[in-house]
Amino acid sequence: MKLWPKTLLYRLVLLVLAGLLLANGLTLALLLYERMSSARSVMLSNLGYDVATSVAILDRLPANERAAWLPRLARGNYHYQTDAGEPGPVPDSWRSRSIVASLQEALGERYHITMSEIAGPREHIQAHLRLSDGSPLTIDMRPQLPALARWLPVVLIVQPLLLLLCAWLAVRQVVRPLSRFTRAVETLEPAAAEPQAMSEQGPQEVQQAARAFNAMQARIQHYLRERTQILAAISHDLQTPITRMKLRVETAQEPALREKLFLDLDNMTRLVREGIAYARSAEPLLEPQHRLDLNAFLDSLVCDYTDTGRAVAFFPAQASPLLETRPQALRRILTNLLDNALKYGGEAELHLLPDDGQWLAIRVLDNGPGIPEDEQEAVLQPFYRIENSRNRHTGGTGLGLAIAAQLAAQLHGRLNLANRPCGGLAVTLSLPLSLYPSVSPVGADK
């Protein structure tokens, strides 16, 4: 349904408002019906008494004085005439029948009454009778319901507005915890050094759900720390037997076999070191944060590469942004990204993109084979390797991008991978200018 609101807030507001309006409309209709019924009963009772009194007065007056009393006895919806009136059919509407019955009850014992309906745009009836002296008397009536108060239409307009406001406030109180849970889930970073606990304020049910969410977040962090501790312990313990194996290989008599064994041991050593680095990247960063001139920082990093003959180009931002971050962690992220680009593309470009006031983006480009789109999220996981040129034989351990992604999360940022249209891979590191961002990162969809 196209007109059905997309958000839960407005759907509930619409349903609650519809229910309130329906109930209120039914109540108002019953009240008006009861009011009209009571008013009609009172009106008919007063009509019979007033007409009986007026007819008795006119019957006792001399014929020449009756015309002077007619204006005094007239009422808002009926008056008296000293003539035979107009002929017409017998009234048969529900309102006319009740009036006829009331007049018959008030006058029928003393006078013979005939009723006639006068044609016209409004209901118009006449009661005809003759007084004691034989003079004709006509009661000319235009029945109408009691007029509504002038303030009633204002109430009918203001009341739905008040209902809408109350419905919106009530539903907002219900939906607000869902929004808080959504934001908490979206910002959940189990590997973050300082996880943001969800506020446990509000109704009892919300407090229980918030406590359960915080407990879940704590358990996830515990499991991750336990996993990384196991990885660090295994990687650390492997260094000693690998060192002993290298010493023993040196005594091997066959040079070709010794060279192959050294190559395998070097790969094992590199994997162990990367495993230790990955485990350390999952731990809370103890490095103090500093404010960096990012153009200068990135230029010095690129100079270190170019001094060793590596093909790395830097494209600074026109206005050098100041970034509040942890320099060593940022250097490790960019080093891993540049090494990855050089390994698979031979050369790399480092671009500093303009910031939007809260976030900035650093982009590393290469001209390598790229990464299939369905594997771009998977390569950020530890020990994941694509079965092409990025394999163990080229020195890849499957931890470089995982370490970069984990350190980026520690800095409250994220990595985004995308293939370049002209070939190669573009890795965007989005970082907040402050370590406590409040909006979504720029460049996340690029």
Cβ neighbours of residue 10 closer than 8 Å, sequence gap 6 or more: none
Same fold yes or no, 8-141 and 187-284:
no
**238 neighbors 220 (Cβ within 8 angstroms):** no
Is pLDDT at 27 greater than 50 in this prediction?
Answer: yes
* pLDDT category of residue 438 using cuts at 50, 70 and 90: very low
Least confident of 18-32, 224-238, 348-362, 430-444: 430-444
What pTM, to 2 d.p., does this model score? 0.48
CATH T-level topology, domain 187-284: Helix Hairpins (1.10.287)
Higher pLDDT: 118 or 443? It is 118
Count of alpha carbons within 13 Å of 204, Cβ hemisphere only? 0
Nearest in space to 215 (alpha carbons), one of 183, 184, 180, 186: 184
Q: Which DSSP category does 139 fall into?
A: E
Q: Is 298 left (phi over 0), alpha (psi -120 to 50) or beta?
A: alpha
Question: Which tens digit of pLDDT belongs to each residue from 111-163?
Answer: 888 888 888 888 888 889 988 888 899 989 887 766 666 777 787 788 888 88
Question: What average pLDDT is seen over the chain?
Answer: 79
Is pLDDT at 286 greater than 50 in this prediction?
Answer: yes
The pLDDT of residue 338 is 92
Is pLDDT at 204 greater than 50 in this prediction?
Answer: yes
First to last CA, the chain: 33
Q: What whole-number percentage of the chain has pLDDT above 70?
A: 84
Query: With respect to CATH, is domain 287-432 assigned 3.30.565.10?
Result: yes
Q: 284 forms bridges with which residues in the sheet?
A: none
DSSP string for residues in 64-99: TTHHHHHHHH--SSEEEESS-----PPP-SHHHHHH
Least confident of 6-15, 69-78, 223-232: 223-232
**137 neighbors 129 (Cβ within 8 angstroms):** yes
Cα(283)–Cα(229) distance, rounded to whole angstroms?
9
Q: Is 395 left (phi over 0), alpha (psi -120 to 50) or beta?
A: left
The pLDDT of residue 363 is 93
The pLDDT of residue 206 is 76
Question: Which tens digit of pLDDT belongs to each residue from 300-354?
Answer: 999 999 988 899 999 988 877 788 888 888 998 999 899 888 988 888 999 998 7
Boundaries of every domain in the chain: 8-141, 187-284, 287-432
The pLDDT of residue 390 is 43
The pLDDT of residue 348 is 92
Cα(415)–Cα(441) distance, rounded to whole angstroms?
10
Is pLDDT at 389 greater than 50 in this prediction?
Answer: no
Cα(232)–Cα(289) distance, rounded to whole angstroms?
25
* pLDDT category of residue 393 using cuts at 50, 70 and 90: very low
The pLDDT of residue 303 is 92
Encoding tokens for residue 435? 């370590």
* pLDDT category of residue 392 using cuts at 50, 70 and 90: very low
Q: In this structure, which CATH number among 1.10.150.120, 3.60.21.10, 3.30.200.20, 3.30.450.300 belongs to the domain 8-141?
A: 3.30.450.300
- Reduced 3-state DSSP string for 301-370: HHHHHHHCCCEEEEECCCCCCEEEECHHHHHHHHHHHHHHHHHHHCEEEEEEECCCCCEEEEEEEECCCC
